[in-house]
Amino acid sequence: MNFLVNTEKFLSGIRRVMSAVSTKSLNAMLNNILLEAEGDALHLTAYDMEVRIQTSVPATVNEAGTIAVPAKKFGEVIGALPMGDVLLETRAEAPEEIRLKCMKANYKLHGQRGESFPVADPFVEDWSFVMGGKELVDCLCKTVYSRSEDETRQALNGVLISIRGSMRTIAASDGRRLALVEASLEQEAKEGEGESAGLPTQEGEVILPFKVVAELIRSVDQTKVVKIRLTRSMAVFENGQTVITSKLVDKKYPNYRSVIPVSFRNTVEIPRMLFADVLKRVRTMVGEGEENASVTLSIQENLMRISASSPEYGNAEDSVDVSLTGEPIDISFNPRYLFDPLKNLVCDTFQIHYNDCVTPVEMTGDPGFIYILMPMRPVLPSEEEGTIEPQI
């Protein structure tokens, strides 16, 4: 095996696959990155038994071959090399010895035979669809915070992607709130160009594990499209020179549509950035880890007062100008749940739709975005102090 590759591109490829290097597996081979040199490219692969990431960088391959390299140490070595080209070679008489040369730097490293690296599971596509990289990342960012952090609730711990009736829905819920983004695939196909203009090959829905969702948000090249290829148990995301393969969550997602109210009697329009700043200030009065922490929105015709109080710290109040259509209300929310969607929206103003202070409210703003949130229920005289946050 003998190839020449630019150190900067080499390091970029290593970093692209590094998050799929196993740190817990009993199989020591999974602590490695597989290097495969062939044609005019170097392919790098990492796998942790859940997610496999493969990417390619251009290389001058003098002799094709494979070698598995220790991921962490090898990444440190390549990261320390000067800018330029690095020559990597192995020899038949010592196939597990890696020789590196870059400028005046020389290394001899221990690797393992590439043939021992776990091969990918067979994949026969059942159906597929295409999304723009930026659109996929935006949709995931606008929903993933609503997933359940309880790993025993496997379905709710992931993110749903559903294709039904020419509509694509990406959704997440933890039982107390629901975030989703919908888009018309037919409209996208009319407006799309080239590879991103095709409709899905069939309908269906899958649940992506949180780990692959986090990886997609982190690593997708948003200037390129993502082709999503699916089976009942696997998903493959092809994005430029990088391919991410993941197992799917083998569970049925709850009927999230049932928690979305049919109609609302009242709507308040709120400046997003100003409200986010005010909420950030006021929420400092309540502990982030307190299950029953709440902030209260007192909504009037042209003004919303945001307040919070704590027996330990004191109280705070601030206000923003709003536009109300409907009846005034005092309504309380978990401050983190109220703040989470604001960080990922881009609209200048958003809307809160409500009926009363105890049934689900709806937040909207960016096209296709819906956020359903339960208010904090007021304490009844017969109940203990604190508030109760009902399940959706």
User: What is the number of other CB atoms lying within 10 angstroms of the CB of residue 172?
Assistant: 28
- The span from the CA of 115 to the CA of 67, in Å, is 8
Instruction: List, for residues 42-84, the tens digit of each pLDDT value.
Output: 999 999 989 999 999 999 999 999 999 999 999 999 999 999 9
Alpha helices in the chain (DSSP H): 7-17, 71-80, 133-141, 185-191, 210-219, 272-282, 335-339
For 104, left (φ over 0), alpha (ψ -120 to 50), or beta? Answer: alpha
On the CB side of 265, CA atoms within 13 Å amount to 8
Any idea which residue has 């999304």 for tokens? Answer: 131
Please report which confidence band the pLDDT of residue 381 belongs to, taking 50, 70 and 90 as the band edges. very low
Q: Which 8-state DSSP code applies to residue 342?
A: G
| pLDDT 10s digits, 146-201 | 999 998 899 999 999 999 888 899 999 998 999 999 998 876 656 654 445 456 66
User: Residue 313: is its pLDDT beyond 70?
Assistant: yes
* pTM score of the predicted model: 0.88
- The torsion of the CA quartet 349, 284, 344, 142, rounded to 10 degrees, works out to -110
316-333 pLDDT per residue, tens = 999 999 999 999 999 999
Q: What is the pLDDT of residue 190?
A: 60
> Cα separation of 218 and 314, whole Å?
39
Which residues face 132 on adjacent strands?
Answer: 225
